[in-house]
Amino acid sequence: MPHPALTPLAARDMAARDMAARANRPDYARWAARARATGGCAQPIHLRGRVDYRDPLTGELLHRYSTLHEPGGVLRVACKTRRASRCPACAEVYRADTYQLVRAGLVGGKGVPDSVTQHPAAFVTLTAPSFGPVHARREKAGTAQPCHPRRNATPCPHGRVLSCATRHSTDDHKLGEPLCPDCYDTTGSVLFNALAPELWRRFTLALRRRVAKTGGLLVRELRDVLTVSFAKVAEYQRRGVVHFHAVIRFDGPDGPTSPPPAWATHEVLADAVDQAASAVTVSTPAAACLPSRSLAWGSQVDVRPITTTGELTDQAVAGYIAKYATKAAECVGTLDRRLRATDELTDLPVTGHARRLIAECLRLGALPELADLRLSEWAHMLGFRGHFSTKSRRYSTTLGTLRAARIEHNQREHHITTGRLPFDDEDQVLVIADWRYLGQGLTPGEAILTAALTGKPLPPLGPTALKGASV
Ligand SMILES: [Zn+2]
Ligand SMILES: [Zn+2]
Ligand SMILES: [Zn+2]
């Protein structure tokens, strides 16, 4: 781990020496093979242990794999994270899988029939309401507009004029920061994040009710003729509040393999989304010092039909959703890890706005009436504890299926390179595995070598530090 007092030059020198030491070890070839096998993972998990293959009848040991023969006596496996800030290589795999999954639901493939293209589908964006003015980049025909120009704005109670005539550039660090941090409704913002998954659930129920009503059916009768399938991702806006992008599709009773009824058109879908989004609310739990309040979606509900040729194609939508699946809260200037007991709020490497939202999570998290929202635990996510990408059961294939297919392939390759796989029928063998977690990560030199071997980028914050007791 680099010493905090180390100059960048000295740190680079150390990484270079570390790299040379790794490359000169006699087990380098095997180490490099594993670096490739993990797909260039920037923070591989280190395991020590063995796998015994025994005859189920006699108990005879047929074959043993042990990490003793691996470099340093440990096996490195990919971390499989979704977060690009932690491991670009694994996040890329996740992004590609999400793309395939969303796309299969729009054009077929991976077990979904091509006829799914005939089903009405829409790309829906549900945003959060306003919690106070923030610096924003507004564009008109590609040109930046003044942020919040107010000619005769009276000062707020904190003496700030809530006006900003700046035409912000896309990388302006002020974007998302409130015009007045003291006026900004941080309470509303973190409570919205905490309750957004519930608001989404209520939205899907209201959507089904609305569709049933249009078809002249009861909700329980709808199930026999129509399924509403969806895939959604959560995205953080710069102001630190989540919103959702979703593909919502009409299927028949058996999911993508069956057609929806003829009356269930694009227009019916768009109308039901609009109605449901404006109808649902969720009440925050009341506490002694905090009355309950009602939260709803923002007024900007966007519903656009997805077609194979039109303005919004299936491919564009799949790419868009996949892109957001690997972004998380850290993209808006907060932490990519949980807060620790030893963390000082004032020392955290976060923006001022994120710091205030984290502080509000910790304040509300201490209220017993709000315990269910687990705001202290999810303070680093600014209150959101939902999943980043979710889908209904029948949307398309699953990440698990895609992953299993790849693992199967990698396993075989791994077995072949290690001279294993002496058994044709794995069912006839008793497999006893004994693994121990030793740590995670790469040394600075290893990170550079891994990136060079696999053509994958180094993590944006430099090589990850090696955690745990591994070598
Ligand atoms: Zn990884
Ligand atoms: Zn501004
Ligand atoms: Zn103010």
pLDDT value, residue 469: 39
**How many A from CA of 174 to the centre of ligand 2?**
7
Q: Residue 76 CA: which ligand is closest?
A: 1
**How many A from CA of 159 to the centre of ligand 2?**
17
**How many A from CA of 334 to the centre of ligand 3?**
23
User: What are the structure tokens assigned to 57, written together?
Assistant: 């009848």
**How many A from CA of 128 to the centre of ligand 3?**
21
**How many A from CA of 76 to the centre of ligand 1?**
10
**How many A from CA of 151 to the centre of ligand 3?**
17
For residues 196 and 385, what is the distance between their CA atoms, to the nearest angstrom? Answer: 9
Q: Are 405 and 6 in contact (CB under 8 A)?
A: no
User: What are the structure tokens assigned to 332, written together?
Assistant: 């808006």
Q: Which residues contact 462 (CB under 8 A, 6 or more apart)?
A: 444, 447
For residues 9 and 17, what is the distance between their CA atoms, to the nearest angstrom? Answer: 12
For residues 248 and 447, what is the distance between their CA atoms, to the nearest angstrom? Answer: 41
For residues 376 and 354, what is the distance between their CA atoms, to the nearest angstrom? Answer: 14
**How many A from CA of 60 to the centre of ligand 3?**
76
Task: List % helix, strand, coil for the chain (3-state, nearest 5).
Answer: 40, 20, 45
**How many A from CA of 247 to the centre of ligand 3?**
39
**How many A from CA of 90 to the centre of ligand 1?**
4
User: What are the structure tokens assigned to 337, written together?
Assistant: 């890890």
For residues 394 and 229, what is the distance between their CA atoms, to the nearest angstrom? Answer: 6
User: What are the structure tokens assigned to 192, written together?
Assistant: 């919205």
Q: Residue 184 CA: which ligand is closest?
A: 3
For residues 276 and 289, what is the distance between their CA atoms, to the nearest angstrom? Answer: 32
Query: In the 8-state DSSP scheme, what is residue 304?
Result: E
Beta bridge partners of 53: 63, 431
**How many A from CA of 217 to the centre of ligand 3?**
50
Residues at Cβ < 5 Å from ligand 1 ion:
41, 78-79, 87, 90
Which helix or strand (DSSP H or E) is residue 468 part of? strand 467-468
**How many A from CA of 186 to the centre of ligand 1?**
34
Beta bridge partners of 250: 228
**How many A from CA of 184 to the centre of ligand 2?**
14
The residue to which tokens 């656009």 are assigned = 304
227 burial (CB, 10 Å; 0-12 / 13-18 / 19+) is buried
62 burial (CB, 10 Å; 0-12 / 13-18 / 19+) is middle
Tens place of pLDDT per residue across the chain (471 aa): 444 556 777 878 888 888 898 889 999 999 998 888 888 888 888 888 888 877 777 888 888 888 888 898 888 888 887 777 778 888 888 878 878 778 887 878 777 888 888 899 999 999 999 999 999 988 888 888 999 888 887 899 999 988 999 999 988 888 899 999 999 999 999 999 999 999 999 999 999 999 999 999 999 999 999 999 988 888 888 899 998 988 999 999 988 889 999 999 999 999 999 999 999 999 999 998 899 999 999 988 889 888 777 777 777 787 777 777 666 555 666 777 788 877 888 888 888 899 999 999 999 999 999 999 999 999 988 999 877 777 777 777 776 776 776 665 555 444 434 434 444 444 566 777 788 888 888 888 898 898 888 887 776 544 444 554 333
**How many A from CA of 437 to the centre of ligand 1?**
16
User: What are the structure tokens assigned to 385, written together?
Assistant: 């504890």
pLDDT value, residue 51: 81
- Distance between alpha carbon 470 and the CA centroid of its chain, in Å? 28
**How many A from CA of 39 to the centre of ligand 1?**
8
Q: Categorise residue 421: left if φ over 0, alpha if ψ from -120 to 50, beta otherwise.
A: left
87 burial (CB, 10 Å; 0-12 / 13-18 / 19+) is buried
**How many A from CA of 153 to the centre of ligand 2?**
14
pLDDT value, residue 166: 93
For residues 94 and 87, what is the distance between their CA atoms, to the nearest angstrom? Answer: 11
